[in-house]
Structure 1
């Protein structure tokens, strides 16, 4: 019973009325979650009849989260809504096909634990590791687990992305948090990896592992001209390794060609995954520090 629903001259709702409304909404939300579970049960049955398929659908997840960001209004912090939906998505995925998340804690347990629990909740088991390389190895040896580590691979990292270059090696499927904002409660930028997905991947941003002869100052500017950026770099045995993110819509050969035009030699590039473009919360009008009102 909201103020907007009142007829002219009708009495304003009491605290008891408002609490009754809250109880009604709580019951409705719970019923909807249980209904979602029943639909997932039917989905599992259909997938089983059709020979299975990956439970991870990064493109669909990104579409759902983007729609939530675009329609969110009111006092409730966007972070809360994002966290609730991340847990709903991750938990129902777990119900379809149980999995664990292997997490690199070499940077410290607290920030990665916060990120893992914000994005995957408490139902999905989290397994700690020391280094991106160990996470990659654990995912490669699993039947359907995910891995998560910082964009730079953490303090123990070398050119970790080269471990993703073999065809059957794990690949990057997401970059989190999906909602970009400066004060995000789980704001550490992380990559999520899985064994190669047959379908359902998002390709707004493609990641390439690039090997070349050496560093040149023109690389960042040349890549920026095609919408690409260097995410990380590390020395390799025979030269330099770069992790480059480029728009998924451009020619796959353009990254290497751009580096050659900037003076690079012996350029070799291998795609190691892709992810959705993130949603920018700054496009919403802020109310205070954490909430958003309708523009």
Structure 2
């Protein structure tokens, strides 16, 4: 006579398992806090920007996506981890997020809250210039500005030695239905050892800027351009990957008829990590 299959667990038993997992997660978060407290004591420093680790954060988010499976939406997992990272960074060295809301206040606020949570203070500004200046005057604050367009060449403020730099491009994980999809640059001061340089960003000032020159650059780099009518030119923010170089961009500008007046490195960030609609990672 065959044995009857075991009875499925009751709702009460399943809820007990969930409660145990919830308690375990809370205990692990507290344990993480204890380690951060020890980390602060070991570092014994409040140096500017010392708590930010863009390279480490990008690597953590990539591994998060690669190992994720199951019914829990990736949006939820990513937002939880972003808040954990940002909040513990804030605990190490308090900072504020200065956001340029000139393009879209709701979209910028969504990006700030998704990536930095509600513990980190959020300060709205009506221009990218104002947000960058606020970060520059602080000990270690961040500025969030649009990564795809601008009314003013705010990146000129990043050219000087000691000025804050572009340290990240958000979101770390890109997908068509991302709840905080607005492409933004994060600007702050960070230790050189903490930077990720997969994509370098340059401030380039040119004369002779026109549509033909812009088309010549489009295959080589991502460009944000602000016209400079006084010199019949433009201030460019140029993002180049390891597949190309700023020298190739400079050569393309000259070949297209423009004159390069100056070039300055103003930051770097991780390569964009895209999750296609099929769920495959790239």
Is the shorter-chain TM-score for this pair beyond 0.5, marking a shared fold?
A: yes
Alignment match of 1:261 (pick from 255, 262, 265) = 255
Check conservation: 1:58, 1:174, Cα contact below 8 A: yes
Question: Quick check: 1:169 aligned with 2:129?
Answer: no
Q: Deviations over 1:115-173 (max 9, x none)?
A: 1111100110111111010011111110111111222465xx31222121112222111
**Structure 2: unaligned runs, 5 residues or longer:** none
Structure 1 stretches of 4+ moved >6 Å = 49-53
Check conservation: 2:167, 2:269, Cα contact below 8 A: yes
Task: Please give the secondary structure, in 2, of the residue aligned with 1:172.
Answer: strand
- Taking a change above 3 Å as real, the CA distance of residues 152 and 224 of structure 1, as seen in their structure-2 partners, is closer
Check conservation: 2:155, 2:203, Cα contact below 8 A: yes
Question: Quick check: 1:229 aligned with 2:222?
Answer: yes
Alignment match of 2:186 (pick from 183, 189, 192) = 192
In 2, Cα distance between equivalents of 1:276 and 1:152: 16
- Taking a change above 3 Å as real, the CA distance of residues 194 and 272 of structure 1, as seen in their structure-2 partners, is same
Check conservation: 1:205, 1:246, Cα contact below 8 A: yes
Task: Please give the secondary structure, in 2, of the residue aligned with 1:237.
Answer: helix
Q: CA deviation at 1:107?
A: 2.8
Check conservation: 1:230, 1:242, Cα contact below 8 A: yes
Question: Quick check: 1:30 aligned with 2:23?
Answer: no
In 2, Cα distance between equivalents of 1:145 and 1:50: 13
In 1, Cα distance between equivalents of 2:195 and 2:78: 20
Alignment match of 1:113 (pick from 109, 118, 132) = 109
In 2, Cα distance between equivalents of 1:46 and 1:283: 44
Q: CA deviation at 1:202?
A: 1.0
Structure 2 length normalisation: TM-score?
Answer: 0.90
Alignment match of 1:133 (pick from 120, 129, 134) = 129
In 2, Cα distance between equivalents of 1:196 and 1:167: 13
